[in-house]
Amino acid sequence: MRVAVFGGDGFVGWPTCLHLSNAGHDVTIVDNLSRRRIDTELGVQSLTPMDSIQERLRIWKQVSGKTIRFELLDIATEYTRVKLWLDEFRPDALVHLAQQRAAPYSMKSDRLKTYTVNNNTNATHNLLSALVELGLDTHFIHLGTMGVYGYSDIGATIPEGYLTVNVRLDDGQEVSRKILYPADPGSVYHMTKCMDQIMFAFYANNDQIRATDLHQGIVWGTHTDQTRRHEQLVNRFDYDGDYGTVLNRFLIQAAIKHPLTVHGTGGQTRAFIHIQDSVRCIELALNNPPARGERPKIFNQMTEVFRIRDLAKLVSELSGVEIVYLPNPRKEASENDMKVANQQFLDLGLEPITLQVGMLEELVHVAGKYAHRIDASKIPAQSGWTADLQSRISTIVDFNPAQRKV
């Protein structure tokens, strides 16, 4: 298939491109390289040394014999160029990962809130509008987030996108309806993914766009079968307070023997998935598109749920590093349960990599291997969800590992 991967230079995008290219698809990356610009802006860098996209693609060609093309394009601001490019490339499917994807970054300042909304909303809508205008029947695969569901525990398993509810009619009868799960975003970033859902529903209905939305959990892990094939194909590994996921930050702390910092009680339950499973899921979605006229297909792209403190315990046991508890900069419930349906991907053959099994490799072969590149001052959370919570951040920054002279 001809596949366009928008955001193919990012953390999920890069291994997705290699995976699909290796599977025989004709892949083109379209990216504005904004993730690298944000690294520069924040003064942070991937733990793993990351080459330019052009160099990465040269190595991939050398290792695999396969070509992945690269197009420098900002899909949120260059609508006409997006349309011209799509008209030329005419992809069978596109994978849309070209969005600002860090909740803390989206809450850092009003500049970044407005950037996130402007960028993410226009990116999605420009692609949809161009497909309709060109009359292309491209399968539109989008990376959503489990965060669209919110984290309030209502005592029911989170279904895959649609919720069956009963509504009372005027005549007193109750009827059953399958509705989009009520949105409950916890950050500006998550809010944009909820808004994306409305756009997919509209364009699927009005123009028969075939859309798949993948509500992904927190991705962990660095290597996939393809990124392992050459040192210079390595995926990025973020550990800073904005882009680093909770697990990555635990791993980094363990590697430098710094206490694992849990925000709040650590009672927050979250969904997780390994990067190798993430790219497999995208491939499964690619091979199982919705029919034309069908409403958007929604998958929960996650394989396990964990409480943050249990995750910390797991890392602590493997590394021997202690756990400390710090104030929580996020506005969220301190404790929540979560059960998530993910039967669709399991039915399609997904065999998940578990944290219990995969964590050690991350600790030794990634965090340990590159420990000399760690800038410990970048680990703490920097973004409060409100002005009030921002003031708590000072407490966290006071606990800056950098001051411990690691």
Q: Does residue number 1 form part of the binding site for a second copy (CB under 8 A)?
A: no
255: CB partners within 8 A, 6+ apart: 319, 363, 367, 368, 371, 374
Q: Does residue number 118 form part of the binding site for a second copy (CB under 8 A)?
A: yes
Best CA proximity match to 57, nearest among 4, 97, 9 = 9
Q: How many C-beta atoms surround the C-beta of residue 38 within 10 A?
A: 17
- Smallest distance from a second copy to CB 323, Å: 28
CB distance 302 to 214 below 8 Å = no
List active site positions. Answer: 145, 189, 193
> In the range 54-83, which residues lie near a second copy by CB under 8 A?
79, 83
CB distance 138 to 131 below 8 Å = yes
| Count, residues near a second copy per rule CB under 8 A | 56
Q: Does residue number 298 form part of the binding site for a second copy (CB under 8 A)?
A: no
Q: 40 or 173, CB closer to a second copy?
A: 173
Q: Does residue number 90 form part of the binding site for a second copy (CB under 8 A)?
A: no
Q: 201 or 371, CB closer to a second copy?
A: 201
| Spatial distance between the Cα atoms of 179 and 172, rounded to a whole number of angstroms | 20
Q: Does residue number 132 form part of the binding site for a second copy (CB under 8 A)?
A: yes
The tally of CA atoms less than 13 A away on the side-chain side of residue 357 is 7
| Spatial distance between the Cα atoms of 146 and 271, rounded to a whole number of angstroms | 8
Q: Does residue number 87 form part of the binding site for a second copy (CB under 8 A)?
A: no
Site string (138-177) toward a second copy, x via CB under 8 A: ----------------xxxx-----xxxxxxxxx-xxx-x
- Smallest distance from a second copy to CB 146, Å: 16
CA angle in degrees (0–180, nearest 5) for 11-54-230: 65
Burial class (CB in 10 A: 0-12, 13-18, 19+), 335: middle
- Strands (E) located in 138-278: 139-145, 162-168, 174-180, 211-216, 218-220, 260-263, 269-274
- Smallest distance from a second copy to CB 367, Å: 33
Part of the chain binding a second copy (CB under 8 A), chosen from 122-130, 231-239, 305-313, 395-403: 122-130
- Smallest distance from a second copy to CB 211, Å: 14
Q: Does residue number 331 form part of the binding site for a second copy (CB under 8 A)?
A: yes
Residue from the set 30, 102, 385, 396 that interacts with a second copy by CB under 8 A: 385
Beta 269-274 vs 139-145: how paired, if at all? unpaired
Torsional sign, CA 68, 72, 77, 79:
negative
- Smallest distance from a second copy to CB 342, Å: 15
Site string (343-382) toward a second copy, x via CB under 8 A: ----------------------------------------
Best CA proximity match to 11, nearest among 41, 48, 62, 43 = 48
In terms of residues, how long is the chain? 406
Part of the chain binding a second copy (CB under 8 A), chosen from 121-129, 232-240, 259-267, 396-404: 121-129
Q: Does residue number 206 form part of the binding site for a second copy (CB under 8 A)?
A: yes
Q: Does residue number 39 form part of the binding site for a second copy (CB under 8 A)?
A: no
| Spatial distance between the Cα atoms of 388 and 284, rounded to a whole number of angstroms | 43
Q: Does residue number 198 form part of the binding site for a second copy (CB under 8 A)?
A: yes
Part of the chain binding a second copy (CB under 8 A), chosen from 12-20, 59-67, 107-115, 279-287: 107-115
CB distance 269 to 151 below 8 Å = yes
In the beta sheet, which residues pair with residue 28?
A: 4, 69
Please give the residue ranges that form the binding site for a second copy (CB under 8 A): 79, 83, 109-110, 113-114, 117-118, 121-122, 125-126, 129-130, 132-133, 135, 154-157, 163-171, 173-175, 177, 179-180, 182-183, 185-188, 191, 194-195, 198-199, 201-202, 206-207, 331, 339, 385-387
